[in-house]
Structure 1
Amino acid sequence: MRLNQYIAHHTQYSRREADKLICDGRVNIEKTKATPHSLLGANERVFIDGKKIVPKEHFTCIVYHKPKGEIVSKSDERGRRVIYESLESKFKHFIYVGRLDFASEGLLILTDSTPVAKALMESDLPRTYILKINGSITQEMINAMENGLISEDTSAGAHSKSKIISMTFAPFNSYKILKNDKRYSKIKVSIAQGKNRELRRFFGVFGREVLDLRRISYGFVHLNALPCGKKRFFTHEEYRDLHTFLQNKRDKKLQKN
């Protein structure tokens, strides 16, 4: 683990703040002053201002109902509101699991554990969304949801500054059409990854604009009735399911080795 990552994982400091602490000479690895190029060896102790960092044996996870108009980031160069301005200061070092774009809302998981965040982000746990699109849902769109799609031009649903144009869309895990009308339609979909604006790009291929996008679940974690702009801690059942998920992931890794 990189030194700044270790500090961010086990303290209230962000990685950027950890980098500054290191540059200011306030960090030691054992009795040696750390530098930006220092590598952290196994079982080595890290000190900030002479105080030993005690590694966390437990982790905390929260669910945040992100509203539209917030950026999932630590900061924004355009001065837009970021999620950490809505969360209490004690959560400023928490890591977000995946993203929701500026115009989207819904369930966002944050945790103080880098390994947990990484495991969840790299998983194929289904991400479920409710979408409102302009226009009707056609048979061509249904075929693509069921069989997958390769498109050389997904610019219709992409961010204006995105350099990603072509994209391969895997078959959706599931979908349920809630309303199908020539003016606008609603659909509930589950996908396994959630790549860069994937759903907006997918429907953009068919000339449809996603008017509303709300994530309602991420694997075994559900938004339920959590009000927009509010947060809650994982429930006992969600922690149980998370530990089971992590153990299964470790077991699979051991089997491969």
Structure 2
Amino acid sequence: MANHQERLQKVIAKSGVTSRRKAEVYIVDGRVKVNGKVVNELGTKVGPNDTVEVDGVPLEKEVPVYYLLYKPRGVISSVSDDKDRKVVTDFLPEVNERVYPVGRLDYDTSGLIILTNDGSFAQSLMHPKHQIDKVYVAKIKGIPTKEELQSMKKGIKSDGEHLKAIHTKMLSSDRKKNTSIIQMVLHEGKNRQIRRMFDALGYPVDKLKRERYGFLSTEGLQPGECREMTPHEVKLLKKASE
């Protein structure tokens, strides 16, 4: 879902112009243009920034929408799941737009996730060059040393990847239960990154939550709740990802 692209006939059908089967006939017959050029290949995919015309009439583009969701644990960061598990879009109010999550949070991780239909906004936020702080709090088994927490800032090798935290901080520890609460700041977001880093040091993660995404926080939201982002918030995030 990196480019949030869909098959051309599906996009035409979703716009309400015609059915998917008829859309395929339109494409083969040369009645469809993408960015001004006739396209008659059924495998063609298009993204939110492409202009699609049917018989010379552009498809109506959706108004961009932006939602902030406090994702609960046990939810997939996707718009559908072949195992019929809950997905992040299940928690949104009824919307007509085709929204999708910006990046992902693991199934067992809770916290903030943005959903939108604005493809360029989503891609700019996920681009590695934009160093937006993502703040996580992890409850782990064991109590790491200062040196071990520092090593996470230098980087840890896991499955051939170099995983790195921008900042680490011990928030609390319980010597009787042999657990600790650690705050971590990331800029990247590789698959199960925090869990893999702690696993490499021998401290399994029990719970993990993303508390902040840039200047956005979970304040005012309970797990499973969402809200529309304000125009000011969207503007600030766009500026941060320029």
| 75, 81, 84: which one aligns with 1:79 | 84
Q: Which residue of 1 aligns with 2:6?
A: 4
Q: Is 1:188 paired with 2:183? A: yes
Counterpart-to-counterpart distance in 2, 1:6 and 1:128 = 38
Q: Which residue of 2 aligns with 1:133?
A: 140
Question: Greater share of strand residues, 1 or 2?
Answer: 2
Q: Which residue of 2 aligns with 1:54?
A: 60
CA 1:47–1:138 in 2, change beyond 3 Å: closer, same or farther? same
Moved more, 22-31 or 90-99: 22-31
Letter in 1 for 2:117: D
The answer to whether the 8 A contact 2:12-2:20 is kept is no
Count of aligned pairs = 226
Shift of 1:54: 2.6
Shift of 1:242: 2.3
Question: Greater share of helix residues, 1 or 2?
Answer: 1
Counterpart-to-counterpart distance in 2, 1:43 and 1:169 = 35
Counterpart-to-counterpart distance in 2, 1:22 and 1:200 = 47
Counterpart-to-counterpart distance in 1, 2:205 and 2:76 = 18
| 68, 76, 80: which one aligns with 2:73 | 68
- Matches for 1:197-212 after TM superposition, within 5 Å: 197-212=192-207
CA 1:85–1:39 in 2, change beyond 3 Å: closer, same or farther? closer
The answer to whether the 8 A contact 1:133-1:185 is kept is yes
| 160, 166, 172: which one aligns with 1:166 | 160
The answer to whether the 8 A contact 1:98-1:121 is kept is yes
CA 1:2–1:203 in 2, change beyond 3 Å: closer, same or farther? closer
Letter in 2 for 1:235: T
> Structure 1: where are the runs of 5+ without partners?
155-164, 250-257
CA 1:19–1:120 in 2, change beyond 3 Å: closer, same or farther? farther
Counterpart-to-counterpart distance in 2, 1:236 and 1:168 = 36
CA 1:101–1:173 in 2, change beyond 3 Å: closer, same or farther? same
Letter in 1 for 2:108: A
Counterpart-to-counterpart distance in 1, 2:96 and 2:202 = 40
SS in 1 for 2:174: coil
Q: Is 1:29 paired with 2:35? A: no
CA 1:217–1:78 in 2, change beyond 3 Å: closer, same or farther? same
Q: Deviations over 1:216-246 (max 9, x none)?
A: 1112322222111011111243123023235
Q: Deviations over 1:127-167 (max 9, x none)?
A: 11111001112234222123222x2xx4xxxxxxxxxx232
Q: Which residue of 2 aligns with 1:142?
A: 149
RMSD: 3.5
- Normalised TM-score (structure 1): 0.74
CA 1:126–1:33 in 2, change beyond 3 Å: closer, same or farther? closer
- Normalised TM-score (structure 2): 0.78
CA 1:90–1:25 in 2, change beyond 3 Å: closer, same or farther? farther
Q: Is 1:117 paired with 2:122? A: yes
Shift of 1:73: 1.5
Shift of 1:12: 9.6
The answer to whether the 8 A contact 1:69-1:102 is kept is yes
